[in-house]
Amino acid sequence: MVECPICTKPVKSAHINQHIDSGCENFIEDHPPESDELGGASSVSSVSSFFHRPTANRAAVDVASKVETAPTFAASRPTPRKAAEESVVRNKRPVESTIPPHVSDIDAAQAAGGDTALKRLKTSNPFQKDLPLSVRMRPRTLDDICGQELVGPTGVLRELIKQGRIPSMVLWGDPGTGKTTIARIIASTVNCRFIEINSTNFGVGECKKIFFEARNEQRLSGRKTIIFCDEIHRFSKSQQDIFLEPVESGLITLIGATAENPSFKVQGTLLSRCRTFILQKLTVNDVKTILERALEVECPGDTRPSVLDSDMIAYLSAFAAGDARTALNILDLALSLSTRTGITKEEIKKSMTQTLVYSQSGSSRFDIMSAFHKSIRGSNTDAALYYLARMFECGEDPLWIARHLILIASDDIGIADNSLLPLATAAYSAAEKIGMPECRISLAHATVALARAKKSMSVFLGLARALTVLKEPDVAALPVPINLRNVPGELIDVSEHQRNSESSTNYKQGRVEQEFLPDLLKGRKIFEE
């Protein structure tokens, strides 16, 4: 006797294929054998472990059946192991559903009775209070997601989910914008096997094992496998390449999530097989909506602390900087502190720590440097100092900043003020010699001077035009005019060279009036003031 992997009903092992082919309607055993007198397992539990549903997921299915909810996450095949090896290998096993059974109960309650059922479940579930607020308030449906047009009423991704046509995709967005939430909602909506993997401790061998299981699952039940990989940019090149064939053949659907620019961090061959969806940064109003929703669940009725009024919620929303997870975590902290007698808003604000979003290997670093450069180019001293201070506060290398100041001195100021290139070079020397934090003043000195100076991009544009000219046909190899060539002795008529060569001392102000460009480029204007 076996348990059908689709409908979980008992079926004789000889009839399992016919049962699945009949749409899980025929060959069902009404009375599965009971356990034997010695307390051993029944024949249903003694068959191949592939058809076993893990205890956590069985609990989720039981709760779902009681409240008549939607399908839960599918079960995976537990591989038999020795007891001594199990604890070592468990950390590298793929997670089919990282949502614990009591969180699956939340899904079931919401599907059955909405917020009322959710509140009733929260009071009866002993595990719920131990979860972080950001986990307890994670959206369970697309309608609960705030601030993302992709899954809004007219969103492209929402339409694909409704049709059940889930392509392999990369979700690119800042932390706390809902990448993991969207992936889990997709898994609970479509009838697919869902696996979460961690890119930090997963190797090629483990990936191949998932593909093998996905192929078996597809052959037995016809279900596809969705693999969700958080922080996919941390995968090495070999790890990313292993997904190429399974994704292209349709064996698996890959959903990758990253906070870094996938054009730089994900292999182009893998990126071409996936669609890239960009998640927008949450606005202050979006975060405020999320916090108000959390307070309604956590503090129903008149139990809301007076210190968490609308002004405080607005402050927390702005403080989170578009990160819903951070916003819920600091709200959880504020709720804990609000139980203290005589607590004030100022004391709660002092207990918070601002999260600085900055990565020296990510796109945020170059975004801030780009803003710094353009602020100087636009002669906005205030903005230039603001972005300079942000880089200092995030621990940026001062020499990296100084190198950009030298570039700006020639790129944007140029011949408008020739004294600023030596100043920028001196700022680099100061940063190199005295280091942080003292060199911050020297770099700020150079920043203000560059921002206040007159700007001229004539040198930059002139060089760009010269490089463009070289791309024209037959221009790059034009011969140098004879009067400009070096005297090679026996290979050229010295008298002819001297006759055509002019000296600057023969002309007023040292300006020689002769043609210097090759004949094909005579009269071409490359440099303009």
For Cα atoms 19, 25, 27, give the angle at the middle one, nearest 5 degrees.
50
Mean pLDDT over each residue of the chain, to the nearest integer: 76
Check residue 362 and give its pLDDT.
58
CA distances from 290 to 109, 145, 322, 474, 524 (A): 20, 9, 11, 64, 62
Check residue 429 and give its pLDDT.
94
Domain spanning 143-278, CATH architecture: 3-Layer(aba) Sandwich (3.40)
Tokens of 37: 């007198």
pLDDT above 60 for 495: no
Tokens of 373: 């450069």
361-405 pLDDT per residue, tens: 556 778 889 999 999 999 999 999 999 998 988 888 899 999 999
Check residue 424 and give its pLDDT.
94
342-364 pLDDT per residue, tens: 888 888 888 776 655 555 555 67
Q: What is the mean pLDDT of residues 79-103?
A: 43
Q: Which fold has domain 363-456?
A: Zinc Finger, Delta Prime; domain 3 (1.20.272)
Total Cβ atoms within 10 A of residue 101: 20
Maximum distance among all alpha carbons in the chain?
Answer: 120
Q: Do 196 and 232 contact (CB within 8 A), yes or no?
A: no
CA distance 338 to 341: 8
CA distance 412 to 306: 54
Q: What percent of the chain has pLDDT over 90?
A: 14
Produce one character per residue of 129-165: b if its CB has 16 or more CB atoms within 10 Å, e if not.
eebebbebbbbbebebbbbbebbeeebebbebbeeee
DSSP 487-518: --GGGS-HHHHHHH---GGGSGGG---S--S-
pLDDT above 60 for 107: no
Check residue 518 and give its pLDDT.
72
For Cα atoms 303, 306, 312, give the angle at the middle one, nearest 5 degrees.
120
Among the residue ranges 187-191, 227-231, 328-332, 494-498, the one predicted with the least confidence is 494-498
Among the residue ranges 276-280, 430-434, 470-474, the one predicted with the least confidence is 470-474
Check residue 111 and give its pLDDT.
43
pLDDT above 70 for 295: yes
Q: What is the mean pLDDT of residues 336-340?
A: 85
User: Which of 438, 370, 379 is CA-nearest to residue 404?
Assistant: 370
pLDDT above 90 for 89: no
Check residue 491 and give its pLDDT.
53
22-74 pLDDT per residue, tens: 878 888 887 655 544 444 444 444 444 444 445 444 444 444 444 444 443 34
Among the residue ranges 85-99, 227-241, 359-373, the one predicted with the least confidence is 85-99
Check residue 360 and give its pLDDT.
57
Q: Predicted confidence band at 450 (pLDDT cuts at 50, 70, 90)?
A: very high
pLDDT above 60 for 180: yes
Q: Do 428 and 447 contact (CB within 8 A), yes or no?
A: no
Check residue 173 and give its pLDDT.
87
Better pLDDT: 83 or 351? 351
- The H or E element spanning position 254 is strand 252-258
Check residue 478 and give its pLDDT.
79
pLDDT above 50 for 90: no
Better pLDDT: 289 or 519? 289
User: 356 has which bridge partners?
Assistant: none
Pairing relationship of beta strands 2-3 and 10-11 according to DSSP bridges: antiparallel
CA distances from 442 to 271, 374, 398 (A): 43, 20, 10
pLDDT above 50 for 452: yes
Check residue 122 and give its pLDDT.
45
Check residue 74 and give its pLDDT.
40
Q: What is the mean pLDDT of residues 457-469?
A: 85
Q: What percent of the chain has pLDDT over 70?
A: 73
* Phi, psi dihedral angles at 198 (to 5 degrees): -110, 120
127-142 pLDDT per residue, tens: 566 788 888 888 888 8
